[in-house]
């Protein structure tokens, strides 16, 4: 070995251990995250007795399938009332758990008296899980730690000393089966009908508000997540990011919000067609808040839109249809990935290494006028395709109409596809999407759990639906706030007689996701992990779990992989809107509001010194009214008056454009942020020039004085700061002239807050 070679090798080692450089992290991202290391044959064998593969005859095939969610939500309701008294937890034998949790569970089907619905126990549920998810993780605790979890005696001592973690599963709904199994594996304690004293973890089936009486512990839903993931809000959030970072956010298909953007949509499409007559794009219409393919249809001409019918038009998103998806066996498929948002502040994201691939049941053809209504060809929803006679329920994880994502990746790898790149692109898509959602989620969070008031902390498992294009580029279809966690599927065993039978693929993926989410949320684990350096935390989270009689058993290694803050360096420059949100929250105060009143907006302008003789406070009021009104007309369902975050962001962009005319939008916004942050920092240091204006409310005083972390302050390499603090804003040309007096008289009314209603379906 030459000296030179040794030198280079040593340098490389040093670079690795110092963790320097974005490039290295990018390389790591690719190296670390690939989940397919072995063929699907290595995936745990699930006994054939576990899942009889059976094809279900389509009972009610329909093109739009409007009735599906109704019957399903009925089932959900039934499950809500089936909390049984908790059985004493049987001791775990190795990794095999026998579960009869379902036996005798009453289920009503009032809508179809002739059908008998029996529910079978899930039988042998968890065989081979250790093998599937990897081997037990070796743990290296620091030397000064007195307990060695590898030492069986020590581990037993720890297990005995600790009380089991308590989980309230009363509101778990369709997640119940997978949750019960996970709790058993962890040897934690389940409270199926709730508990008088507080639990450590509350598992809700739908929303944060499933139980509004929780003042401590952790809830598996964030306030506002359902609202944020409705199709229109997701589109708006991504679109704001597309304005700032068009290239980074090009994974979301071009979309228009209906009915408000119908005209724009029509015009843009006709212009595109005029430019190129050969262009015959297809569009997919998705009702806002829809799920399971409900109400979705394809069109080729804006005139074919069904939603434009009188004044009561349905809120929807119309989206460019991806007409060249990647096919396997000539079938279109999508990917369901489970993502855990462990915390918003600091932002922590985990991705499940295993996901599901859901296949269409009719061979794909590019859209034509003839095949637009063929849902089994164009839509990959399980709930639709399961009604097709072609749907294949399979015992295997790598065949049938629902497979593991790893088996698909393995198949692609065998054809020479660079799956590391695919996986790394998917991780990037997930992180960017969550970065787009976080700003508004923080507003909801502060409104429901104001700082300083008792309340739970939150985490949430999200279901990302991703399509791979023919060129392997991942495209975001949607994100589900309540991804189905069912591990059984309905099967018609004889005409009119249905049974629930275990679904090995669902069980394989979903039990791991829930169990490992719980492990990460273990209150003791959380506390002890934070005392270790970040790089060790993930490793340590595979440590023996606590629980009486656990005997130091080591669980499978985590199926959830941390991706944020792990990849902070690559993505933090995208957190610009979060910095604007920090300003918004600061001037909103901590009274539980989600909308900024005119006084709060004036205070923001004054404290950040954005007004002067060319940009008077009267003009500020006009800006406030103008933007707020526009957003109120776009959000007709909204019952709260005032300036919401999206309107504030729009006003902020406007101010930035006025002030830094010559720059691209992204730099304008960052420059204005720097001006504002510098002003507020000065005030924090007691700069007399930064004193609060005379009309500031006491709540604003309080919120201004409390420092908040400002995400994404790492300056993007391309960003050049050009802010000139003394530079004045020139007067805007606004369309709604209103006197400042009128604005302040509205102050009280604008502050009247009606809490939004929280509705949401559990996806099945």
Question: Applying CB under 6 A, which residues contact ligand ADP?
Answer: 253, 284, 286, 290-294, 296, 319, 321-322, 334, 379-381, 465, 467, 477-478
Instruction: Assign 677 to helix, strand or coil.
Output: helix
CA distance 359 to 403: 8
Question: Prior bond to 725 cis, omega within 30?
Answer: no
Q: Considering beta carbons, is residue 381 or 460 the nearer one to ligand ADP?
A: 381
Angle, nearest 10°, between helix axes 576-588 and 598-607? 120
Least distance from ligand ADP to the Cβ atom of residue 286, Å:
5
What does the CA dihedral 271, 273, 276, 282 come to, rounded to 10 degrees?
Answer: 130
Q: Considering beta carbons, is residue 253 or 711 the nearer one to ligand ADP?
A: 253
Least distance from ligand ADP to the Cβ atom of residue 356, Å:
12
Least distance from ligand ADP to the Cβ atom of residue 284, Å:
5
Least distance from ligand ADP to the Cβ atom of residue 276, Å:
20
Least distance from ligand ADP to the Cβ atom of residue 64, Å:
11
Q: Considering beta carbons, is residue 465 or 578 the nearer one to ligand ADP?
A: 465
Least distance from ligand ADP to the Cβ atom of residue 65, Å:
10
Least distance from ligand ADP to the Cβ atom of residue 734, Å:
36
| Structural contact between residues 188 and 164, judged by C-beta atoms closer than 8 angstroms | yes
Q: Considering beta carbons, is residue 64 or 82 the nearer one to ligand ADP?
A: 64
Among 211, 724, 296, residue whose Cα is nearest residue 478: 296
Least distance from ligand ADP to the Cβ atom of residue 36, Å:
23
Q: Considering beta carbons, is residue 380 or 628 the nearer one to ligand ADP?
A: 380
Q: Considering beta carbons, is residue 184 or 230 the nearer one to ligand ADP?
A: 230
> Which residues, 6+ apart, have CB-to-CB distance to 612 below 8 Å?
728, 729
Least distance from ligand ADP to the Cβ atom of residue 510, Å:
18
Question: Based on the number of CB atoms within 10 Å of its own CB, is 111 exposed (0-12), middle (13-18) or buried (19 or more)?
Answer: exposed
Question: String of b and e for 578-608 (b: at least 16 CB within 10 Å)?
Answer: bbbbbbbbbbbbbeebbbbbbbbbbbbbbbb
User: Which secondary structure element, helix H or strand E, spans residue 540, and what is its range?
Assistant: helix 534-540
| Structural contact between residues 218 and 459, judged by C-beta atoms closer than 8 angstroms | yes
> Which residues, 6+ apart, have CB-to-CB distance to 522 below 8 Å?
165, 545, 546
The two tokens of residue 229 are 């993931």
Q: Considering beta carbons, is residue 322 or 521 the nearer one to ligand ADP?
A: 322
Q: Considering beta carbons, is residue 60 or 718 the nearer one to ligand ADP?
A: 60
CA distance 424 to 420: 6
Least distance from ligand ADP to the Cβ atom of residue 226, Å:
13
Q: Considering beta carbons, is residue 412 or 467 the nearer one to ligand ADP?
A: 467
Q: Considering beta carbons, is residue 284 or 356 the nearer one to ligand ADP?
A: 284
The two tokens of residue 149 are 């979890």
The two tokens of residue 176 are 């119940």
């Amino acid at each position: 070995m030459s000296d030179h070679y040794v030198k280079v090798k040593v340098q490389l080692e040093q670079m690795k251990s110092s963790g320097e450089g974005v490039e290295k992290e990018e390389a790591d991202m690719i190296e670390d995250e690939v989940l397919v290391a072995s063929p699907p044959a290595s995936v745990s064998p699930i006994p054939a007795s576990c899942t009889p593969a059976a094809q279900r005859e389509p009972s009610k095939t329909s093109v739009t399938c409007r009735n599906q969610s109704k019957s399903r939500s009925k089932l959900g309701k039934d499950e809500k009332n089936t909390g049984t008294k908790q059985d004493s937890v049987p001791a775990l034998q190795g990794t095999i758990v026998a579960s009869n949790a379902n036996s005798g569970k009453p289920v009503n089907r009032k809508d179809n008296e002739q059908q008998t619905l029996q529910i079978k126990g899930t039988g042998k549920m968890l065989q081979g899980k250790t093998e599937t998810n990897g081997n037990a993780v070796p743990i290296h605790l620091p030397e000064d730690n007195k307990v060695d979890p590898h030492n069986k005696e020590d581990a037993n001592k720890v297990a005995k000393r600790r009380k089991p973690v308590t989980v309230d599963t009363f509101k778990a709904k369709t997640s119940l089966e997978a949750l019960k199994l996970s709790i058993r594996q962890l040897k934690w304690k389940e409270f199926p009908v709730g508990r008088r004293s507080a639990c450590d973890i509350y598992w809700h089936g739908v929303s944060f508000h499933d139980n509004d009486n929780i003042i401590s512990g952790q809830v598996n839903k964030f306030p506002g997540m359902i609202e944020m993931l409705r199709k229109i809000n997701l589109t708006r959030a991504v679109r704001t990011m597309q304005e700032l970072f068009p290239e980074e956010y090009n994974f979301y298909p071009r979309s228009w919000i209906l009915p408000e953007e119908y005209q724009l949509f029509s015009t843009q499409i006709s212009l595109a067609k005029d430019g190129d007559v050969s262009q015959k794009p297809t569009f997919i219409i998705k009702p806002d808040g829809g799920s399971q393919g409900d109400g979705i249809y394809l069109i080729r001409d804006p005139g074919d839109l069904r939603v434009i019918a009188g004044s009561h038009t349905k809120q929807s998103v119309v989206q460019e249809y991806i007409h060249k998806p990647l096919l396997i066996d000539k079938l279109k498929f999508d990917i369901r990935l489970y993502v855990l948002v462990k915390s918003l502040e600091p932002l922590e994201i985990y991705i499940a290494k295993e996901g599901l691939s859901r296949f269409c049941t009719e061979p794909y053809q590019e859209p034509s006028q003839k095949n637009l209504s063929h849902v089994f060809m164009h839509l990959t929803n399980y709930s639709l395709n399961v009604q097709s006679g072609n749907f294949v329920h399979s015992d295997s994880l790598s065949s049938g109409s629902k497979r593991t994502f790893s088996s698909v990746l393995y198949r692609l790898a065998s054809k020479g596809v660079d799956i590391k790149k695919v996986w790394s692109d998917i991780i990037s898509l997930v992180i960017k999407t969550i970065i787009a959602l976080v700003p508004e989620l923080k507003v909801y969070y502060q409104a429901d759990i104001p700082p300083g008031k008792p309340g739970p902390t939150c985490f949430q498992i999200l279901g990302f639906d991703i399509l791979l294009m023919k060129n392997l580029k991942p495209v975001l279809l949607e994100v589900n706030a309540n991804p189905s966690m069912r591990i059984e599927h309905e099967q018609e065993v004889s005409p009119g007689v249905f049974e629930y039978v275990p679904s090995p693929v669902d069980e394989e993926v979903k039990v791991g996701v829930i169990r490992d989410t719980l492990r990460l949320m273990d209150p003791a684990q959380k506390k002890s992990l934070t005392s270790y350096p970040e790089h060790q935390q993930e490793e340590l989270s595979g440590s023996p779990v606590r629980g009486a009689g656990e005997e130091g058993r080591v669980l499978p290694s985590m199926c959830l992989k941390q991706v944020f803050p792990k990849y902070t360096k690559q993505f933090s420059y995208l957190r610009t809107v979060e910095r604007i949100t920090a300003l918004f929250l600061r001037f909103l105060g901590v009274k539980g509001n989600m909308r900024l009143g005119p006084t709060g907006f004036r205070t923001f302008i004054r404290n950040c010194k954005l007004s002067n003789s060319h940009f008077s406070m009267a003009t500020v009021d006009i800006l406030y009214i103008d933007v707020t009104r526009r957003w109120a007309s776009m959000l007709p369902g909204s019952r709260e008056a005032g300036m919401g975050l999206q309107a504030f962001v729009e006003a902020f962009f406007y101010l930035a454009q006025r002030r830094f005319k010559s720059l691209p939008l992204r730099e304008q916004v960052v420059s204005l942020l720097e001006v504002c942050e510098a002003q507020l920092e000065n005030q924090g240091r007691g700069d007399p020039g930064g004193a609060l204006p005379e009309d500031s409310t006491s709540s604003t005083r309080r919120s201004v004085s409390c420092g908040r972390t400002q995400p994404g302050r790492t300056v993007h390499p391309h960003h050049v700061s050009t802010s000139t603090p003394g530079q004045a804003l020139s007067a805007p040309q606004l369309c709604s002239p209103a006197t400042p007096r009128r604005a302040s008289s509205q102050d009280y009314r604008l502050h009247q807050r009606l809490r939004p209603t929280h509705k949401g379906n559990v996806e099945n």
